[in-house]
A and B are shown apart, each in its own frame.
Chain A
Amino acid sequence: MIRIDCPWCGMRDEAEFTYRGDATVTRPGANAPEEAFHDFVYARKNPRGWHVEWWYHSSGCRQYLKVVRHTMTHEVRTVARATETPEVPSE
């Protein structure tokens, strides 16, 4: 069970959160072409290593958090607020 240090609530179990996917993709602007939206919805990198993900504190403060997680070890390095840009380790 992953533990996530919510910036609003403190250290909590994974069970309190809902995974919401890749936080490295950004919704295209209003006039962006269909292809940009296609990539936003469907194209994912599936990296082996550090990854920035949305975790929603659904049984807590109901805030979406940016979690820097290692996809092999599940280590959580950083938990940031939605509007922040967390540092991602190179290795």
Chain B
Amino acid sequence: MSQPFRLPAGGHVDRAQNLAFTFDGKPFTGHPGDTLASALLANGVRLVGRSFKLHRPRGIFSAGPEEPNALAEMRDGARREPNTRMTQIELHDGLVAASQNRWPSLRWDLLSLNSLIAPVLSAGFYYKTFMWPAGFWEKVYEPLIRRSAGLGRASGQNDPDFYETMQAHCDVLIIGAGPAGLAAARVAGASGQRVMLCEQDSILGASLLGQDEAWRTATLAALAAMPNVTLLPRTNVFGAYDANVVGALERVTDHMLASPAHTPRQRYWTIRAGKIIHATGAHERFIAFPDNDRPGVMLAGSAAAYVRRFGVKAGRRAMLFANNDAAFEDFFTLQDAGIGIAGIVDPRTDSAGAEAARARGITVWADSQVIGTAGTLALQGARVARRGSSGTDTLVAADLLCVSGGINPAVQLASQSRTPVEWNERLQSWVPGTPILPQFAAGSVNAVTGIAAAAADGARAGAAATGGDAAISLPTGAVADATVLPFWEVSVKGKSFVDIQDDVTADDIRLAAREGYKHIEHAKRYTTHTMGTDQGKSGGLIGAAVLAAARGERVQDIGMPTFRPFTQPVTWGAIAGPNIGKHFEPTRLTALHDWHVRRGAEFMDTGAWVRPGLYPAPADSDAWDTVLREARAVRRSVGICDVSTLGKIDVQGKDAAVFLDRLYTNTFSTLPIGRARYGLMLREDGIIFDDGTTSRLAEDHFFVTTTTANAGPVMQHMEFYLQTVWPDLDVTLASVTDQWAAMSIAGPNARATIQKVVEGLDLSNEAFPFMAVGDATVKGCPVRVFRISFSGEMAYEIATPAGFAETVWQAVIDAGEAFRIEPYGLEALGLLRIEKGHVAGSELNGTTTASDLGLGKMIKKRGDFVGRALASRPGLTDPGRPHLVGIRSVSRGEQIRAGSHLVETGTTLSLGWITGVTRAVELDGWIGLALLEGGEARKGTRMTATSPLHGESVEVEILSPHFVDPENARVRV
């Protein structure tokens, strides 16, 4: 018999089929319907992992998502996933899993020596021990902690699976498919409203499994017949957000070896619900007593679930330590399944449960407690003593110790919905109070326990949510009273865990309280209590009770830490969904992109745009060769650059000129039709926002350009002022960035080049001077020609509807052949603008004013505009502020670095910084732009540009930022 702990009958497993799997390399078999945990138990595997901090041996503790111990690395290779809960992994043929946190092997774990130095590893140990000396952190402590305290290992490879993102709406969302959830769905579904039912488990029913199967089957059949009801098994609602929006994770193929083709591994659901019914059930809690983490200690309800649902005995000889009758009823299931019974330890003096147990021939130690366990890698027995007695204790032999300290209603999602929680005296736990949102709670989360009562409560909630009829047939099953005696901890010396996953003991909580971390949120962070993947589902309240006792208060008076998403871990792959790699954000390509590709351009990402950085030629020995060649073509003959990415906004309307006057520091109402003007835009606080040229195409029609980076923000800024501040203005805005392709043709031969192809426009200097704008055609394509310049050379910008871009561009290239026209990229563009002293993003950086950048004369003296009032504040007009200057290395060949600080030679006080550098073509060597305190007065002096990061210092001259043609004559010839 390969599965010695498998019962001959019962449960939702198919004994006719065997599934082969390996755990830590060892082969085992299980059946369809098993979890990895139930299959391991069926095979008698008790030791499944080592604890996080102390490396203590650990076994399977629960049968669900509350599992603190049984965490596995699932699969291998690229699909390896750490920290998966064995209690939720559905067994499949070929499954490969490994235990975590042990080295070199599970049985012989060298780091369990940590247990011997446990006093050092007490609460707050990370804070106290590893903070000093600082240098030790990187070299010694961190590698040590990483090896010893890490949980499982990620694969380190790209995730081979894909994930879907789902959006859904419903009238009623029911969370949880136990008796309450199913009854609620039955009633809500009958009303005809759109109902969704999410259940984290693979099969619906929860506590009904192995109990009233007839009712469960009939109800599922009825729900399946309702087209308005969507059932989502394997779907955990991990977070509840504002306005009844929830997030859920559907595990589509995690129960298979790998996803079939075209099938996502998981789906990430966003569900918008009219109403929500929380039927999330409850998590059983344990009791803190010495060595309550020994493999073989298990929650009582979970031990019963292994019998009822999986047909598995979690041990051969079981005992129970419980303070409530409901746990007795679960324990009787074990007896009925033929598991040997060692007896029941009950801290209560008398109970109905004890009477029933004695009637079944079970020994009950009343008014008693478990004060310790025996065994090393597996439980061998428990020590039982009378409460309050310091006398002798009895060692009772058992390999399974079922524990129940009561139940914690699963209020996480209700609490995330800002429903206040209320203390329930009977359960000694928190339950949802009056919700703020349209929500309901039903079943054991609502403190209504027992299968029939929970189902009736679910039917009531379903009717309340929909106006439907609550009168449905009810299931039968467990009825025992869940009332508990408040009992949290056995107060004897020893390691009594309150958080089994994080190795937090009751003593750690008391230590935190003694050291001043008395607030529940502080104690949590100081001890790491409830901070594991199980989020303290079964132990959280126990730690709170220990803290309350240490403070001399009642547990209900100290509150609970805030519940936050996620209720169960969610994979990054599901969160990212399809938005990975190139799909992470949209890529914007200009209309000329294909031409650049054919030309062999090297591309650069600028925001979402992909732009040519440079066009290497075979003869170029390095990138500088290319950039200098391209820039030289502009200075000496002619070059052409794709400037389609500049933001373009079409502004029309009777009040368009007035509107622009109010947005820019300069005046546009005086701009003649057919002319362009450079404009500067401030934020309301007086700092520069953006710049660009604006052209007047008609009395009531302007064409605004923005920097590439601010195309969106400027549009929003304009819309804000138009819609909210001056809604009386008659203006219409349209973003036309993508509609118009644009190219800049710059250099002394620019006019001679485009004159060959531009038709219908006199381009002579007299007829079309600097800053002129006109309509024309190129090869029959409509174009707008702007005589504007960024490089400092005579230049024209030609804009054409995007579909004509390549025709126009190629026509210009062909026309420029005689002048050896060169396309130039972003790098050469940057070189040219630094030589000319034109500001760009690194100077328009959100801290500079117009006068900082030498643009003070662009501020008009009359009339209101955005930023006017605050731009004149003393702090923004102080002449000592950093001011735009040019710099040049004294030793011409010496490289300067952007980001270097400017200091007076021989000192270290930074007086400014370098915003951009380049090798120049107009003059020798390296030049740059800088923002320098008192920059005006320092022109003509020498300073040191220093980059401590590179250990470099370069002597530089402080100059005017306009290295090329400061009189601006070239643009006008």
Contact = CB atoms under 8 A, between A and B. Distances in A.
Interface of A: 1-3, 13-14, 18, 20, 23, 27-28, 30-34, 36-38, 40-41, 54, 56, 58, 62-64, 73-76, 82-83
B723 A37 contact: no
Contact of B241 (A1, A37, A41, A82): A1
B723 A20 contact: no
The 7 closest A-B pairs by CB, nearest first: A30-B864, A37-B869, A1-B245, A74-B242, A3-B243, A82-B723, A64-B723
B897 interface: no
A41 B685 contact: yes
Interface string B719-739: 110011101000000000000
B658 to A, nearest CB: 12
Given A37-B684, A41-B684, A63 B723 contact: yes
Contacts of A30: 863-864
Contact of A27 (B270, B685, B725, B873): B725
Interface size class of B (residues with CB under 8 A): 20 to 34
A54 B721 CA distance: 12
Contact of B242 (A1, A34, A56): A1
A76 B243 contact: yes
Interface in B399-416: none
Contacts of B424: none
Interface in B837-881: 863-864, 869-870, 872-873
Contacts of A3: 242-243, 245, 272
Nearest to A20: B720
B891 interface: no
A28 B245 CA distance: 39
Central interface residue in A18, A23, A41, by most chain B CB within 10 Å: A41
Interface string B193-211: 0000000000000000000
Contacts, number: 60
Contacts of A32: 869
Interface in B380-410: none
A34 B685 contact: no
B973 interface: no
Contact of A34 (B241, B245, B864, B873): B873
B716 interface: yes
Contacts of B242: 1-3, 14, 74
Nearest to A40: B684
Contact of B724 (A37, A58, A62, A82): A82
14 contacts: A1-B242, A1-B270, A3-B243, A3-B245, A3-B272, A14-B242, A18-B716, A31-B864, A36-B869, A41-B685, A56-B720, A58-B716, A64-B720, A73-B418
B436 interface: yes
Given A3-B243, A18-B716, A34 B727 contact: no
Contacts of A37: 684, 869-870
B243 A1 contact: yes
B242 to A, nearest CB: 4
A91 B375 CA distance: 62
Contacts of B724: 23, 54, 64, 82
Nearest to B662: A30
Nearest to A37: B869
B301 to A, nearest CB: 35
A73 B436 CA distance: 8
B869 A34 contact: yes
A18 to B, nearest CB: 7
Contacts of A18: 716
Contacts of B723: 63-64, 82
B719 A38 contact: no
B870 A34 contact: yes
A3 B725 CA distance: 26
A22 to B, nearest CB: 12
Contacts of B272: 3, 13
A37 to B, nearest CB: 4
Nearest to B246: A1
Contacts of B863: 30
A56 B684 CA distance: 18
A88 B443 CA distance: 38
Interface string B232-267: 000000000111010000000000000000000000
Contact of B243 (A2, A33, A34): A2
A64 B418 contact: no
Contacts of B872: 34
Nearest to A14: B242
A58 B735 CA distance: 13
A74 B869 contact: no
A27 B293 CA distance: 65
B870 A83 contact: no
A33 B684 CA distance: 14
Contacts of B869: 28, 32-34, 36-37
Given A27-B684, A36-B869, A40-B684, 14 more contacts: A3-B243, A13-B245, A27-B725, A30-B864, A34-B873, A37-B870, A54-B720, A56-B720, A63-B723, A76-B243, A82-B723, A82-B724, A82-B727, A83-B727
Contacts of A14: 242
Contacts of A28: 869
Interface string B683-713: 0110000000000000000000000000000
Nearest to B241: A1
B683 to A, nearest CB: 9
B610 to A, nearest CB: 23
A62 B719 CA distance: 8
A43 to B, nearest CB: 13
Contact of A41 (B243, B270, B725, B870): B870
B662 to A, nearest CB: 9
Contacts of B873: 34
A73 B434 CA distance: 14
Nearest to A38: B870
A75 to B, nearest CB: 8
Interface in B408-455: 418, 436
Contacts of A23: 724
Contacts of A20: 720
